[in-house]
Amino acid sequence: MSAQTIYEILFATFAFFLGACVGSFLNVCIYRLPLDMSVNEPKRSFCPICKYQIPWTSNLPLITWTVQRGKCRNCKAPIPFRYFGVELLTAVLFLAVWWRLAYHAGPIFPGHWVLVFPMFTFVSLLVVATFIDFEHYIIPDGVTIGGTFAGIIFSAGLPWMHGESMFGIQECIRSLMWSVIGAAFGFALLWLVSWLGKLAFGRKSLAFDKPTVFTWTVDGERGKLSADGKDYWWDELFSSEKDTLVMQCERFEIEGRSSGGCEIRSLYEKLTFDGQDYDLNSIKTFSGTMTRLDFRRTAMGFGDVKFIACIGAFLGWQAVLFTVMAASMAGALVGGVPKLIGKKDWSPKIPFGPYLALGAVIWIFCGREILEWYFSQFPEPMEF
């Protein structure tokens, strides 16, 4: 085995285990940031069930979860697979980034292994944003705005991030400029999409000439609102978990409670009545009479708008276009295919942030090549 091969194996192994260690810290961020907790205090990780602070000997990335069979050492409560999955995913991404930049740089990152440092930071931000958005349907400003500034700072010091082939004052200024343009372009593009979406789909109202009887029931695993001779499936009414349904009721009954002349508000899984919240996962039915029903829909969360600015700051405006297109196609496949085959209940409610992260990852590893292949399929213009 040659010395070069040994070095390659050593560096690849280091990248993998570094990613696993960083993934362990990302689990802390994923748990604490949505709860407005410090990622530094307490310094040690703790079991969310019994609050037992985990010593370093029981906090070895990938190893501890496997050895303890996914259970807390102190209280034996199950530790979600997500903790192991985040560590493994981050390790694989770090290894893939090292492989891409060190041996297959290509036209996006022209042969500078030093770019592994901003790219390690970037994929870490993608992982945190993805898992927080999956669980809480938000992307914290610390990830989006903080990531945008990090991308701009990295770009100013490492001009190769935006295609510059040399290091110098002018190259750094151009790289900084392209980073700012990428962030601004991404922000403006999704802000425009969000604004147009709200304009077109942001509110839908149904007004009835007279009080109309309605009933909400569970059919299998799906909720159904029946009113005025029509059935409205709950998962089709809501385009996202942040949408709000408001009913103006003359009479309302739920779990033995009733009221007249009230307003009922509902998210996808929660209903609010008379200051009390009800979990619709545990409710079998509610009913009443209503005079008006309003849907207040959110086309896209503003966290997604700031998130694409972060992506643009690191990768540039071309990556923004590719990421949005790839994310939209992935979302259409995941949401549309189950409906086409008649399995609407298979269609998951996934926020847009994870799709954006997926699009950015595809761009890093093969985005430019995909575009080159795509445009090569078009015939060359005829010469006259």
Q: What is the pLDDT of residue 211?
A: 86
C-alpha distances in angstroms, 244 versus 28, 271, 293, 302?
A: 31, 10, 11, 16
User: Which sign does the torsion angle of CA 169, 170, 173, 175 carry?
Assistant: negative
Best-predicted range by mean pLDDT (90-104, 240-254, 290-304)? 90-104
Q: What is the pLDDT of residue 242?
A: 67
Q: What is the pLDDT of residue 107?
A: 46
Cβ-contact 275, 263 below 8 angstroms: no
Q: What is the pLDDT of residue 9?
A: 84
- For the chain, percent of residues with pLDDT exceeding 70: 88
Say if residue 112's pLDDT is above 70: no
Mark residue 120 as left, alpha or beta (left: phi above 0; alpha: psi -120 to 50; beta: remaining): alpha
Helix (H, G, I), strand (E, B) or coil at 276: strand
List pLDDT tens digits, range 132-183. 998 888 899 999 999 999 999 999 999 988 887 778 888 899 999 999 999 9
Instruction: Please tell me the distance from the alpha carbon of residue 18 to that of residue 172, in angstroms, as a whole number.
Output: 28
Cβ-contact 242, 298 below 8 angstroms: yes
List pLDDT tens digits, range 58-74. 778 888 888 888 888 77
Q: What is the pLDDT of residue 367?
A: 84
How many residues does the structure list for the chain? 384
Helix (H, G, I), strand (E, B) or coil at 273: strand
Closest CA to 299 of 144, 195, 185: 195
Mean pLDDT of 11-27: 93
- For the chain, percent of residues with pLDDT exceeding 90: 31
Domain boundaries, the chain: 105-196+302-376, 203-296
Q: What is the pLDDT of residue 357?
A: 96
Closest CA to 150 of 127, 183, 174, 181: 183
Say if residue 109's pLDDT is above 60: no
Instruction: Please tell me the distance from the alpha carbon of residue 90 to that of residue 15, in angstroms, as a whole number.
Output: 10
Of the pLDDT bands very low, low, confident and very high (cuts 50, 70, 90), residue 85 is very high
Q: What is the pLDDT of residue 311?
A: 97
Helix (H, G, I), strand (E, B) or coil at 65: helix
Lowest mean pLDDT among 179-183, 187-191, 239-243, 330-334: 239-243
Mean pLDDT of 20-38: 91
